[in-house]
Structure 1
């Protein structure tokens, strides 16, 4: 069933942003620290058994210089410079195996698939990157409450910094046209996309697909689904820490990053999505500061448009690249 406002109301939904005064300073310091600690990335050839693409196993420096894994996949024999899609992954998933990521190389792009630290054992795509910075404080099982009482130790500070460094690493590869880098991902990957869009200039486009990590407080009030349920459970137990939790999350809200974005964007939303309620998606979309469009999947849940959305993205980028 439809789980949120009617579509006409969603299109007009523009909640007041809840943003800490030091939001920009916090992220500038975070990224400066990551860059200062960075070491050169490694791109090692990987025998994927695939004949139409060349694959490299990547290790690059993310938050605080910590090593993050990725795949770099490009059409075999390409001489470049190629446009590149940097992709972020949904909640619980890791980078998986190269043959699970062939769509963008088939469309003629270089493809940089960032592993998500600590994830990759959630039941679908496997991962290879640890998260060494867990605060050690009590948390609800999962990632949403890891370090949630302090913005400096919150899990997504590390992940969003990793995302920015993934773009910077992709841009440095000799096969990539640094002026034609696109970011995208679904669910958690869409939330990371919004964060990176608000932190990185000069992107060709951003493609947040049914994005997660937007308007956290509202999400916990209107859905019982995971992963937002992790926050609800934590607040249910730690009754005296509720405001401290949401004070931290102001630094990580996709709505606040959307208001800083400069790249054109193609969003998607599903009106029967109880995992990432449509109003939380529209909160980010309606605050998004650059040119934008949104695909509405009226009768879909969190799966969104799937192959239909991917087709729309391929056509969207083809049009942008031809300008």
Structure 2
């Protein structure tokens, strides 16, 4: 078969090339301390969308730096015993999606919470400057500021905070919570489980936000990673700060966070993925130390892949 990346045997041993900042662990320890000090001020507002077997709510909570974050929250109607829950995370620049595509898990007796990433296509605030969507450029937002002001730091913390909020619900068994998502959603699945290690099962599909320097060297800083190319073109056209830029991006490189994951992992990758290259995904997968399995699709790229959702659904049944 054709190759767009390394041979599979090399992928299974690949450990990434993006530099890791020397204070990475301290950076995330302080980030979690900041999150722990936040008063979430959780609010559940009944949605206009309702069905006979579920209760559907717009869930709001206050995240780090004062942003009011939105998620869709659905729970089985009339369920009194604590039950499992699924957290869902969406792709870059998108939103939490329609209500109806979450009902399969509710029908199974699970609650579902689907995050709107701050500043993207949903209803969460971007507290950096404005409400609503800023849509693009999120990888580089805050790069020329202090590392603790990088936007994706806050987004990763939002994912973990959503988990904490859902785990605190009376109807949810905090020890039976799973997380899932595609692309950026896969990245936030990894971030969520790394920052909230009680996540029991996680199913990231072709996760984004891993091994930025590898993306650059493969000349794939386009599409979802176009932020990197734009940054150099506008702010460092001579690449005088290239080493500094990639080291700073290391703070939000998931390959260095995943060591904190305790949950069981089912990751899916398409070997023809030229948006989130397979090697970048393996750089994270190979560092996960908990129980894990990789579903490898040789002929598929960054697209809808047959059987993935069925396999995730079956995987989450075990909750």
Report if TM-score (shorter chain) is over 0.5. Answer: yes
Distance in 2 separating the partners of 1:295 and 1:140: 30
- 2:205 pairs, out of 181, 206, 209, with 209
Mapped partners of 2:90, 2:162: distance in 1 = 13
Distance 2:304 2:207 in 1: 10
Task: Give the Å deviation of 1:214.
Answer: 0.4
1:231 aligns with 2:228: yes
Match of 2:159 in 1: 163
Structure 1 residue 224, shift from structure 2 partner: 4.5
Q: Which deviates more from structure 2 when the two are superposed, residues 30-39 or residues 278-287?
A: 30-39
CA contact (8 A) 2:42 2:62 kept: yes
TM-score of the aligned structures, taking structure 1 as reference length: 0.89
C-alpha distance in 2, partners of 1:304/1:282? 19
Aligned counterparts, 1:12-161, within 5 A? 12-15=13-16, 18-120=19-121, 127-133=122-128, 141-149=136-144, 150-161=146-157
1:124 is matched with none
Cα-Cα RMSD: 2.1
For the structure 1 residues 107 and 219, does the alpha-carbon distance in structure 2 shift closer, same or farther, using more than 3 Å as the test? farther
* 8 Å contact kept, 2:18–2:247: no
Measure the CA separation in 2 of the matches of 1:260 and 1:119: 27
Per-residue displacement from partner, 1:260-310 (whole Å, max 9, x unpaired)? 2211101010111111000111111111111100111111110152x5111
Deviations 1:27-47 (A, max 9, x none): 222222223132331112223
Alignment check: 8 A CA contact 2:164 2:196 kept? no
User: Which runs of structure 2 are paired with 1:289-308 in the superposition (5 Å)?
Assistant: 289-305=289-305, 308=307
The unaligned stretches of length 5 or more in structure 1 are 121-126
Hey, what's the Cα distance between the residues in 2 that align with 1:21 and 1:144?
20
TM (norm. structure 2) is 0.90
Matched, 1:243 2:266: no
Are the counterparts in 2 of residues 220 and 229 from structure 1 also a CA contact under 8 Å?
no
The C-alpha deviation readout for 1:214-262, integer Å capped at 9, x for no partner, is 0011012212431212202212331333223212211111100112221
CA shift in 2, pair 1:134/1:252, >3 Å: farther
Give the counterpart of 1:190 among 186, 200, 204: 186
Contact 2:106/2:112, CA 8 A, preserved across alignment? yes
Corresponding residue number in structure 2 for 1:123: none
CA distance in 1: counterparts of 2:261 and 2:158, whole angstroms: 18
Judge conservation of contact 2:85–2:110 (CA < 8 Å) in 1: yes
> Does the CA-based 8 Å contact 2:17-2:211 persist in structure 1?
no
